[in-house]
């Protein structure tokens, strides 16, 4: 999907308080940034920001960071946070997931949301880009420290099955698997923009929770 530059894009990027500039400077200091010791949850690939903005309002006892690598999409996300009157417990960071360890210290993040991540083609040269590829799971383990968890949603069954295998091979525990989220008993689901579109088309949404524990408990 092509994102077009809006006449307000530069203004949002220059003045919007939800955007964290120079996130590397907060490595190891994110609780100082938020001004509290609440747990920090991270959405990788936050898109236009609807999910993370709404989560911040529903969960004032948790800090949220939305990570997005495309500048124009970041401008949409910070604007969405403003329009939805998100809480002061959320911020948006422009960064590729390849650089997670540049901005987070070990133990700073306790949960990661992967919502409708790019499934990439099932070709050897592209699979390494999947956000559940073992090389990314290694990065997540490093910023989790002793333990952490990933909540994943996707409309792509092949990517979902690949992710289950990747988590399992790394020794993560998988729970609460759903092959059709919107026709399940799961409560409290907050939808992303993509999810609203896919659900409206009657497409099944796949969801799981994967838990990492360094001690294997």
Catalytic residues: 118
- Print the SS3 string covering 176-214: EEECCHHHCCCCCCCCCHHHHHHHHCCCCCEEEEEEEEC
Residue 6 tokens, joined? 């809006």
For the chain, state the CA radius of gyration.
17
Neighbours of 125 (CB within 10 A): 8
Interatomic CA distance for residues 31 and 104, integer angstroms: 11
Taken as a whole, the chain contains a residue count of 217
In Å, what is the CA distance from 197 to each residue of 8, 116, 193, 194, 204? 25, 12, 7, 5, 11
Residue 140 tokens, joined? 């997540």
Neighbours of 13 (CB within 10 A): 17
Q: Look-up: residue for tokens 């609807």? A: 50
Of 149, 69, 162, residue with least CA distance to 109: 149
Phi and psi dihedrals of 211, rounded to 5?
A: -115, 130
């Amino acid at each position: 999907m092509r994102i077009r530059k809006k006449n307000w894009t530069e203004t949002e990027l220059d003045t919007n308080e939800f955007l964290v500039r120079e996130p590397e400077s907060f490595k190891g200091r994110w609780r100082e940034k938020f001004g509290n010791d609440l747990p920090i949850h991270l959405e990788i690939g936050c898109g236009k920001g609807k999910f993370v903005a709404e989560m911040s309002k529903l969960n004032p006892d948790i800090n949220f960071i939305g990570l997005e690598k495309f500048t124009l999409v970041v401008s949409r996300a910070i604007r969405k946070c403003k329009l939805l009157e998100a809480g002061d417990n959320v911020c948006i960071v422009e960064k590729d997931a390849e650089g997670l360890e540049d901005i987070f210290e070990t133990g700073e993040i306790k949960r990661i949301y992967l919502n409708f991540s790019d499934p990439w083609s099932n070709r050897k040269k592209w699979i390494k880009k999947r956000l559940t590829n073992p090389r990314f799971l290694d990065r997540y383990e490093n910023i989790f420290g002793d333990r952490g968890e990933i909540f994943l949603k996707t409309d792509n069954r092949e990517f979902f099955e690949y992710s289950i295998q990747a988590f399992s091979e790394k020794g993560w525990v998988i729970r609460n698997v759903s092959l059709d989220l919107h026709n399940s008993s799961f409560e409290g689901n907050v939808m992303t923009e993509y999810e609203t579109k896919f659900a409206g088309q009657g497409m099944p949404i796949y969801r799981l929770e994967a838990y990492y524990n360094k001690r294997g408990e």
